Structure 1
Amino acid sequence: MVIQIARVQKPAPPFRAPAVVDGNFKDISLQDYQGRYLVFFWYPMDFTFVCPTEIIAFSDRIDEFRELNCDVIAASCDSEYSHLAWINTERKKGGLGKMNIPILADKTKEIAKMYGIYIEEQGITLRGLFIIDPRGIVRQITINDLPVGRSVDETLRLLEAFRYTDEHGEVCPVNWQKGDKTIKPDVSASKEYFASLTAETEITATSTITTTSIP
């Protein structure tokens, strides 16, 4: 059987699996999130060390994602029973506590394999994060090795950028933040952006010269 692997610009591999949602067991699927952006992130294992810091951070800031028409799902290859036990463990003891996002259980490992983040030898996943747009297309993939967690701030920045380009048709330059200038993807029109950079550089240089010349 040919396994569909997640690729940027391609449809996200469909999935359906049990999850813990608001303290209860419920099957969820990619189809449930059609028409909204989705941050689908994977972590290696329940009851570990970096993982709760990531999951709690995304859960606690879910309102910021929802304001951007985006949902968030966390996932691992543990069972839904393990997820629930971890949720029911106090945060001061390494648990998750109350969750505002679903925790998906990929017990068969098939979804993890489709998303290209399964480590066969260890039976766990890398720290994969996928931004999927309302059409079900993968727009961004980040995969970390096990020791280093992801950034909620950077995920929100990327989400803001993709939403902007989808809505306005312009493209976002390096280090773009909400409110920054964007570029019209046209040879002639793009010169407006580059000219503005040159003007800003000249103003900064002039200001520096003036300041340093004052006795």
Structure 2
Amino acid sequence: MTVLFFTTVNVTTADAEPVAMRPQFYDKVTRDGWHLNIRIDNEVVNSVPNLANANDSREGFVTASATATAVGGSSPITDSIFILGYQLGCQSDVSAGLQYGGTAGVAPQGAIGVGSGSGVSVGGTGGVAGFVQTVLQPGVIVDLPLSNMTLSPDGRAMIDIDNIHIKADACGGDVTVRSYAYLRVSTDLAHTQFAVGDPIKI
């Protein structure tokens, strides 16, 4: 589907205040008796204007602490992995390429034209206008694991990230990030994996 957008070229991006996210936690009891707990605390998401002033890129900085514990099981833990990371969701993937241009004149306010086939054009207000044309692909979600470790012999793991940079390029529309803490535990009797997370737009 080819989409043609007309917008005015005078676009500014304001600084956003850092957002403190609510704590997250998840308790689970495995079938062989291990009491597992994962949590994310002290998470802050700081959305910032794109350094390159690109309209199709978003970036921010994230801070968080994640903790995992495992107690009380009947079979020894033979393998484990604990991960703290983020998932990035892009509303429209425009990585196929963008074409930028400009037109001068007056366009009818709010004019929307739908031609034959799937071409769509959206008009803006009068003045000098610019346009972006791209072939839209389905939205994409990518995993961004930031740090990982195994459980200690006494069943604990702690991960801290502070002011880590994340970004999404070639993204049309909203960009949503979701923190996640993921724990996988294995014994001779069972394999268990689970996660917790919370989304926010940047």
Per the shorter chain, which TM-score range? Answer: under 0.3
TM-score (norm 2): 0.23
**Higher Rg of the two aligned structures:** 2
TM-score (norm 1): 0.22
Higher normalized contact order (CA 8 Å, seq sep 6+, divided by chain length)? 2
